[in-house]
């Protein structure tokens, strides 16, 4: 076959402009149809990752408590004390419980128990950025609130959770808030599209909707102070 015949054959089997536009249009339609499914899959993966973050935090807090007479860091003074058995308890972070801008300190003290500060940020939280360094940690590197009234002895107490909580419809930031059993709480859409995760005193993590959130806050209020610190 001559070169001219080969060129004619290639031109005869190539896409026309109309066919090319039709293929591109079909691909655009398929992409549009797949986009919501991909978004849902990513949101689910991000939430699973968030649950893992909270479980790791809960484990770190329980390890700290085991080594310090059953107390979480914020229940112990920044000055270590004698445990009565020739050892030491603490130091902790109790002196930093009044000002929510010091929230990061309660996580920083867990640097020996947590592998990296990056797990303190949820992938769904676009307003916060993870840090690789414990020395550079601050509230802008946190996606989670902390429950100052939680205890290992109170399994339904709220130990931590996603920060996108609304109190009577108001977002919370750099605040210490005490919730009652009748407090109107809900999640906004910043992290998990109107839902969220809670870490409880027994180390379990609950994925909750607004209704279950209110029930959990009610249950926690029956046994603990339900005082939460928000970044």
- The answer to whether position 215 is within a domain reads yes
Is there a domain that residue 79 lies in? yes
CB 230 within 8 A of CB 173: yes
Predicted TM-score of the model (pTM): 0.80
**38 pLDDT band (50/70/90 cuts)?**
very low
| Model pLDDT for residues 58-95, shown as the tens digit of each residue | 999 999 999 998 999 999 999 877 766 666 777 999 99
145 part of a folded domain: yes
Taking phi over 0 as left and psi of -120 to 50 as alpha, with beta for the rest, 168 belongs to left
- The candidate with the shortest Cα–Cα distance to 215, out of 230, 229, 203, 200, is 200
Q: Identify whether 30 is part of a domain.
A: no
> Does residue 3 lie within any of the structural domains?
no
- The total number of structural domains in the chain stands at 1
What is the per-residue pLDDT across 135-179, written as a single tens digit (0 to 9) for each?
999 999 999 999 999 988 888 899 999 999 999 999 999 999 988
Q: Does 34 fall in a domain?
A: no
In a domain, 166, yes or no: yes
Distances 9 to 2, 12, 20 between C-alpha atoms, Å: 11, 5, 18
**Is there a domain that residue 16 lies in?**
no
């Amino acid at each position: 076959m001559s070169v001219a015949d080969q060129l004619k054959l290639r031109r005869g089997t190539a896409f026309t402009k109309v066919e090319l536009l039709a293929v591109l249009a079909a691909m655009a339609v398929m992409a549009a149809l797949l986009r919501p499914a991909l978004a849902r899959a990513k949101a689910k993966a991000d939430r699973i990752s968030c649950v893992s973050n909270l479980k790791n935090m809960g484990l770190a807090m329980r390890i700290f408590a085991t080594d310090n007479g059953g107390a979480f860091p914020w229940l112990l003074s920044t000055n270590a004390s004698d445990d009565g058995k020739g050892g030491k308890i603490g130091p902790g972070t109790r002196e930093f419980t009044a000002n929510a801008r010091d929230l990061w300190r309660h996580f920083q003290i867990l640097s020996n128990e947590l592998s990296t500060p990056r797990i303190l940020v949820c992938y769904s939280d676009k307003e916060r950025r993870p840090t690789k360094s414990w020395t550079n940690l601050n509230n802008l590197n946190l996606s989670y609130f902390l429950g100052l009234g939680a205890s290992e002895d109170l399994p339904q107490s709220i130990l931590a959770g996603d920060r996108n909580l609304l109190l009577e419809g108001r977002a919370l930031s750099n605040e210490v808030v005490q919730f009652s059993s009748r407090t109107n709480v809900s999640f906004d859409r910043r992290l998990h599209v109107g839902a969220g995760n809670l870490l409880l005193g027994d180390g379990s993590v609950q994925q909750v909707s607004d209704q279950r959130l209110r029930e959990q806050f009610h249950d926690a209020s029956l046994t603990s102070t339900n005082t939460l610190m928000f970044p």
